[in-house]
Amino acid sequence: MGRIRRGTVVGIVAMALPLVVAAVVAASFFPGAGQRLVTLFLINVVAVVGIGVYSGNSGIISFGNVGFMAIGAYASGLLTINPIVQKTALPNLPEWLMGWGAPFLPALLVALVVVALVAIVIGIPVARLGGSSASICTLGFLVIVHVVLVASSDFTRGSQTFFGIPRAVNLWVALPFAILAVAIARIYRDSTAGMKLRASREDEIASIAVGVDVRLHRFLAWVLGAIISGAAGVLLAHFIGAFSPKDFYFNLTFMLLAMLILGGITTVSGAVVGTAVIMVVVELLRKLEGGVDLGFLSLPTVFGLTDIGIGLAILLVMYRLQDGLLGVRELDEQVPFLKRLAAGGGRPVAQQPSSVAVAEEGTLRVEKVGKRFSGLVALENADFEIRPGLVTGLIGPNGAGKSTLINSVSGVVPPSTGRVMIDGTDVASLPVHRVPVAGLARTFQNIRLFRNLTVLENVTVAASAVAEGRDPVELAREALAEVGLGDVADQLAGTLSYGAQRRLEIARALALKPRYLLLDEPAAGMNPAETQELMTVLDRIRTRHRLGLLVVEHDLKLIMRLCDIVVVLNKGQQIAIGTPAEIQANPAVIEAYIGRRRSAKPRTQPVIEAEAPDFDPDAAGKPA
């Protein structure tokens, strides 16, 4: 996604046109209060979009962006304040800040540099956190900014009003900034970086498993969102001309977050629509807040009616539309006319990829791997290898240590003893998100898809980690064709059938161009027809790409039909390794599965298949 795609341009235009129309109408027919209201709307669009760049793409609510607005406002104000007013209002200002009286645009640029530097420093710890922990961290940042502004009276006049700022922002200044903010946010959202961050929003574990450096992308979005928010703060400062720290605190934070959430936190379109709706609600309620006498009906003064109305609007919308007014897709991805316009000449149909030659040399070697958790031995002395072109099965009763071994092989849990070597490289020496790039891809027992991303985007996220100059979208389409999902590329992943979701996971893993593929119970929850289709896909993958497959599965019949080598674990120990025929006749395996007393009975067929029940889909939590 190196170039801006057609759909992104259509989406930007679809959002920019209403902003231009609103500005023209306000200037033509409502030159007074109406024009000021639309100007404030455009500034709020910049502010809400700034929050959305980080919060919408990462899924982490940020309370700190208003803090960046405050930093931008005060930094610009110090540079542009009238020197005469400055001597009276800020007599103790350091000499190097006195008398600048800079124009608006140079002051804006300097203020954004200051905001960016603060965002980089704060972003380092914030990027390491996720969920509510990150949100609390951003709230702490907002409180710190407020306290510092109040305490730094020599620079900010403390809690008093900071005045003397030239009012350089009007409707025609705010409009290009709003359009630019929308364009930047949309380009970022549709970029590879934005798509990777949105993938981590949907499922952080799965995103790491396809090579996404979550911390890096959270950091980048945090800094970009902070700069946009800082620009909104500068615009607001030069629009109102006078402000104090309380103007950049909880009330403004609440209103901007309400705008973002109401419209739909995950989309740029939602940020613009939500801002417009809340602005209309606020203006209507402010007229009613002081009381209204309609002759036949008299309404008393209701303090806080505006905040109550905003809260009720959010509750009403969230009750019916959990993802906001526009949901999880951009406006141009929902409206038929805009979808056709974005598609242009139609999407290319992916051709069936040609066979990929994989070198025979090299193995994935599990060398005497063991894992202890606080003294508990979960796994001990697992020792086997996975070779290209061969399917290795991993079986064992519940609690045998299969999950621990899988996590050790994939780098999620470093082993306490032993090593996992990928073509001579120790997995433990690699960051977890680098393991897939090193040649090992995996799927999960419980399906982990990026449900609110399209099928194509799910696979493109993985393909972008290994594209190396090729178009990751093209690679993604090839992987989808491999598993028979090319026709549903534009559907949301969460809308696919259960079997198709399983195949999508495999396609996403294949897009990493791995040499080794770990499949964690790929047939879990499937009906017989879906299982047979999966078997066909896996056999085709093995033949075409000569991958080394490690298949963990409870369906022993599938294991015996599919695998060349089978490894058996029991109570954390590797008790057997051999061909399917050897494993079916192994006394230790028979005892592990059906017990010592029953294993002594004579058998007329392979005992493992005879005694082991077929996998129960209900036990796997198959969706209804």
CATH number of the CATH domain containing 573:
3.40.50.300
Last residue within a domain, chosen from 246, 273, 294: 246
| CB 548 within 8 Å of CB 363 | yes
How many domains, in total, are found in the chain?
A: 3
Task: Name the nearest CA neighbour of 332 among 16, 2, 3, 1.
Answer: 16
pLDDT on residue 599: 47
Let me know if residue 272 belongs to a domain: no
The pLDDT value recorded for residue 353 is 52
Instruction: Say whether both 589 and 467 belong to one domain.
Output: no
Q: What's the confidence (pLDDT) of residue 606?
A: 52
The answer to whether position 178 is within a domain reads yes
Domain that holds residue 235: 6-246
- Which positions ≥6 away from 401 have C-beta within 8 Å? 371, 378, 379, 382, 569, 571, 572, 573
Average the pLDDT over 536-559 and give the result: 86
| 94-103, 346-355, 357-366, 589-598: least confidently modelled range | 346-355
* Element of type H or E holding 215: helix 214-240
Tokens 């058996």 map to which residue? Answer: 568
Which tens digit of pLDDT belongs to each residue from 244-270? 999 999 999 999 999 999 999 999 999
Q: Same domain, yes or no, for 425 and 455?
A: no
496 is written with which tokens?
Answer: 């696919």
Look at residue 471 and tell me if it is in a domain: yes
Q: Is residue 305 part of a domain?
A: no
Q: 80 and 128, same structural domain? A: yes
- pLDDT bucket at 608, cuts 50 / 70 / 90: low
Distance CA 116, CA 123 (A): 10
Boundary residue ending a domain (513, 540, 558): 513
Per-residue pLDDT, 358: 46
CA nearest 45: which of 191, 235, 193?
235
Does residue 286 lie within any of the structural domains?
no
- Is residue 225 within 8 A of residue 231, CB to CB? The reply is no
pLDDT at position 355 is 44
Same domain membership, residue 519 and residue 500: no
CA distance 73 to 236: 7
Amino acid at 165: I
State yes or no: pLDDT of 290 exceeds 90.
Answer: no
Q: Kindly indicate the confidence band of residue 546, based on its pLDDT and cuts at 50, 70 and 90.
A: confident
Between CA 117 and CA 114 the distance in angstroms is: 5
Each residue's pLDDT tens digit, 83-105: 999 988 999 899 888 888 899 99
For residues 193 and 184, give the distance between their C-alpha atoms in angstroms, rounded to a whole number.
13
In terms of domains, do 100 and 68 share one? yes
Domain presence at residue 241: yes
The pLDDT-based confidence of 557 (bands split at 50, 70, 90) is confident
Q: Is residue 282 part of a domain?
A: no
- Does residue 554 belong to any structural domain of this protein? yes
Element (H, E) at 364: strand 364-373
Same domain, 132 and 56: yes
- Do 550 and 498 belong to one domain? no
Judge whether residue 362 has pLDDT over 80: no
508/603 same-domain check: no
Q: Do 482 and 622 share a structural domain?
A: no
Query: Is-contact 61 257, C-beta < 8 A?
Result: yes
Single residue among 246, 278, 313 that ends a domain in this structure: 246
Please, what's the b/e burial string for 216-254 (b: 16 or more CB within 10 A of its CB; e: otherwise)? ebbbbbbbbbbbbbbbbbbbbbbbbeebbbebbbeebbe
Do 61 and 195 sit in the same domain of this protein?
yes
Task: Say whether both 393 and 538 belong to one domain.
Answer: yes
Burial class (CB in 10 A: 0-12, 13-18, 19+), 122: buried
Q: What value does the CA radius of gyration of the chain take, rounded to a whole number of Å? A: 30
Task: Choose the weakest-confidence range: 8-17, 182-191, 540-549, 574-583.
Answer: 540-549
With beta carbons less than 8 A apart as the criterion, state whether 83 and 101 touch: yes
What percentage of the chain exceeds 90 in pLDDT? 64
424 with 475, same domain: the answer is: no
